[in-house]
Chain A
Amino acid sequence: MIHAEKLIYEYDKRDEEGNVIGAERAVDGVDINIPPGSFVAVLGHNGSGKSTLAKHMNAILVPTGGTMWVDGKDTKDPAKLWDIRQTAGMVFQNPDNQIIGTVVEEDVGFGPENLGVPTDEIWKRVEESLKAVGMLERRKDSPNKLSGGQKQRVAIAGVLAMEPKCIVLDEPTAMLDPNGRKEVIGAVEELRKKKNVTVILITHYMEEVIDADQVFVMDSGHIVMHGTPREIFSRVDDLKRYRMDVPQVTMLAEELRSRGLDLPGGILRRDELVEALCRLR
């Protein structure tokens, strides 16, 4: 679905007068391969290049070096630009800055309108997408009246209405409170089950990636760790080195293990830990 080879993205570093004083590599030699229908998470602390990588998947940024293919289409090809953007929809961090319409349903219709979808079809898609994220009963409301989590769900519906094969979520929960975060992750979860779209979740909350098929950890433009969540979370020391917060349960299990308790590595959920502890006796 998404395939990158030796992806490099450089931007000019400027001094205060705007003169170029060098180049900074935000993404440096990334190879990534995401099969269709999978749920992939990209983790990294601030400035690790994960958002830059996400923007390549939607052809908002074009690589300086290497190649990015989205559904077999090279993002460097301007003729395929709109095709790519329809294939890989994107949800951004700030819920206020990505809602264009003054009414919820009009915002969801914005994408299909741009694609030139006929009016009747737009209405059908809007209804379906709003239903999929559980926002159908708010369709006539102004986005300003919604909570952060609800706004993000509307934004997801807006992407869904374009019928993409893949959704890239660029830190969709970073500006939300814990409740909103749960709401959004729940909506994403539903989608994956019902619509069979590829989901790429960029985040720095580790709790959100537990169900992922693959996890990539990024640090200063490189992919430094790659594997299933269980493999990743069993390497607590490495994660700490890349300044990632390990989930509390995993942390506790790790501490207990280092004190000599016989626990398996990579415990992700509370009930798993409970079970493992009970088995100890």
Chain B
Amino acid sequence: MIRDITIGQYYPAESRIHRLDPRVKIVCTLLFLVSLFIQNSLLGYVIATVYLGTVIRLSKVPLKYIVKGLKPIVILLLFTVAMNLFLTRSGEILVHFWIFTITEGGLRTSVFMAIRLMYLVAGSSIMTFTTSPNGLTDGMEKLLHPLNRLNVPVHEVAMMMSIALRFIPILLEETDKIMKAQQARGADFESGNIIQRAKAMVPILVPLFVSAFRRANDLAMAMESRCYHGGEGRTKMKPLRYKGRDRIAYIVTWLYIVVIFVAGRFVPFKLWIF
């Protein structure tokens, strides 16, 4: 069960989106997220859908995968929709029964809110699906490089992230092993109330932490012995360089932003109440 956890899921494939520079993907994702908030009209969401749909098609990631990624937000989604649907009071009343009232404005806000939330998650998961964890940290490091002047240790943070990603599967395996070892000696993780179960976790966490520290110590020594001394004077095996396709992606995304902003705000396009 513990193996089902995957962080920063990556869907390996050969696609135009996969080949893009990680920086492009990070920036364009941010722009896309922003685009969802600078307008609130039907036409705007149609344009966003076209953009997102095209990216998903190009990325060759099955739609099923992306829908699966929406699962964790289902409860949040239902909650927001319900709240907006019943509590917003504006425009004509559409339905009224017992204490519930649905107004035009309520329906509109809740539908748009639902789409917005789903697109937020889908947009950012398409980024993690198409960028390897290492690509992401490299991209972050390069993008945040200017913060170095403010004494933010950008390189170190990126290094920590990539090491953490490397050790996630190792530590998961170790947790599994410790759990089995404790179960073999009669530990019970499955029964009892929450407090009892939380208490049962202690014999797993203590050895796990001890071994994690030991590993960290070993790793630090191995890194030092391979002349690691921070980001200064370091070269890159796989340096990030913008190519033609990256420029095109930037242009397309900026165009999309302009179009969605102008169309979403100034073009009158209404269907019923939306």
Query: In the complex, which of the residues B166, B224, B237 contacts A109, with contact meaning CB atoms closer than 8 Å?
Result: B237
Binary contact track B209-235/A, C-beta < 8 Å → 1, others 0: 000000100110111111111000111
In the complex, the answer to whether A98 meets B235 with C-beta atoms within 8 Å is: no
- Which among A105, A118, A119, A162 has the greatest number of chain B C-beta atoms within 10 A? A119
> CB-defined interface of A91-124 with B at 8 Å, one 1/0 digit per residue?
0101011111111011001111111111100110
A126 interface residue per 8 A CB criterion? yes
Instruction: Mark out the residues of chain B between 191 and 213 whose CB falls within 8 Å of any chain A CB in the assembled complex.
Output: none
- Report if A196 contacts B (CB, 8 A): no
Nearest A residue to B218 via CB reads A97
Q: Cβ of B170 < 8 Å from any Cβ of A?
A: yes
What chain A residues lie within 8 Å of B236 (beta carbons)? 113, 119
Q: Using Cβ atoms and an 8 Å threshold, which residues of chain A touch B224? A: 60, 85
B237 near A102: Cβ-Cβ < 8 Å: no
* Cβ-defined partner of B226 (8 Å) among A105, A114, A144: A114
Cβ A100 vs Cβ B169 within 8 A: no
Please give, as numbers and ranges, the residues of chain A lying within 8 Å of B227 by CB-CB distance: 82, 85-86, 111, 114-115, 162
Given contacts A60-B225, A96-B215, A100-B166, contact A126 B133 (CB under 8 A): no
- B239 near A: Cβ within 8 Å? yes
By the criterion CB–CB under 8 Å, are A102 and B226 in contact?
no
Interface of A is mostly: helix
Q: CA A104 – CA B219 in complex, angstroms?
A: 16
Given A100-B163, A119-B236 in contact, is the A159-B226 Cβ separation under 8 Å? yes
Chain B interface, number of residues (Cβ within 8 angstroms): 28
Q: A249 CA to B218 CA in the complex, in Å? A: 36
The yes or no answer to A158 lying at the interface (CB within 8 A) is yes
> Are A110 and B218 touching (Cβ within 8 A)?
no
Task: Given A100-B219, A122-B237, decide whether A110 and B226 contact each other with a Cβ distance below 8 A.
Answer: yes
Query: When each residue 47-77 of chain A gets 1 if its CB lies under 8 Å from chain B and 0 otherwise, what string results?
Result: 0000000000010100000000000000000
Complex contact A114–B218 (CB within 8 A): no
List the B side residues contacting A109 at CB < 8 Å: 237
Nearest CB in chain B to that of A96: its residue: B170
* A106 and B238 contacting across the interface, CB-CB below 8 Å: yes
A90 within 8 A of B: yes
Within the assembled complex, what's the spacing in Å between the Cα atoms of A98 and B170?
13
A118 to B215, CA, bound (A): 31
Q: Contact between A82 and B229 (Cβ–Cβ < 8 Å)?
A: yes
- Give every chain A residue within 8 A of B239 (Cβ-Cβ): 119
Name which residue of chain A comes closest to B239, CB basis: A119
- A94 vs B166: C-alpha distance in the bound complex, in angstroms? 15
How far does the Cβ of A97 sit from chain B's closest Cβ, in whole Å?
4
Query: Is B9 close to A, CB under 8 A?
Result: no
User: Which residues of the partner chain A approach B226 to less than 8 Å between Cβ atoms?
Assistant: 85, 89, 100, 110-111, 114, 158-159, 162
A119 lies within 8 A of B233 (CB): no
Interface string of A121-142 (1 = CB under 8 A from B): 0110010000000000000000
* Contact A119 to B235, CB < 8 A, known contacts A97-B215, A100-B219, A144-B170: yes
* Contact pick for B225, options A89, A113, A119, CB 8 Å: A89
Question: Smallest Cβ distance from B167 to chain A, in angstroms?
Answer: 9
Q: With A96-B215, A103-B134, A111-B227 given, is the CB distance from A144 to B169 under 8 Å?
A: yes
Provide the residues of chain B in CB contact with A119, threshold 8 Å.
Answer: 235-239
Q: Cβ of A96: which chain B residues have Cβ within 8 Å of it?
A: 170, 215
CB A90 to nearest CB in B, in angstroms, measures 4
A15→B249 CA distance, assembly (Å):
63
A159: chain B residues at CB < 8 Å are 226
Chain B, Cβ-Cβ closest to A101:
B166
Q: Does B162 contact A (CB under 8 A)?
A: yes
B259 on interface, CB distance cutoff 8 Å: no
Task: For the complex, give the distance between the alpha carbons of A99 and B165 in Å.
Answer: 12
| Contact (A98, B219) CB under 8 Å given A109-B237, A144-B170 | yes
Q: A85-B225, A102-B166 are in contact. Are A113 and B235 (CB under 8 A)?
A: yes
Within 8 A of A (CB), among B225-267: 225-229, 233-239
Once the chains bind, are A90 and B225 in contact (CB under 8 Å)?
A: yes
Min CB–CB distance A104 → chain B (angstroms) = 12
B233 & A97 in contact (Cβ 8 Å cutoff): no
Q: Which of B133, B165, B222 contacts A97 (CB 8 A)?
A: B222
Q: Which residues of A contact B (CB under 8 A)?
A: 58, 60, 82, 85-86, 89-90, 92, 94, 96-103, 105-106, 109-119, 122-123, 126, 143-144, 158-159, 162
Given A85-B224, A115-B227: 14 more A-B contacts, CB < 8 Å: A58-B225, A60-B225, A82-B229, A96-B170, A101-B166, A102-B134, A102-B162, A102-B165, A106-B237, A114-B226, A117-B235, A122-B235, A144-B169, A144-B170
List the 10 closest pairs (A to B, CB-CB), nearest first.
Answer: A109-B237, A98-B222, A97-B218, A114-B227, A111-B226, A90-B225, A122-B237, A116-B233, A102-B166, A114-B228
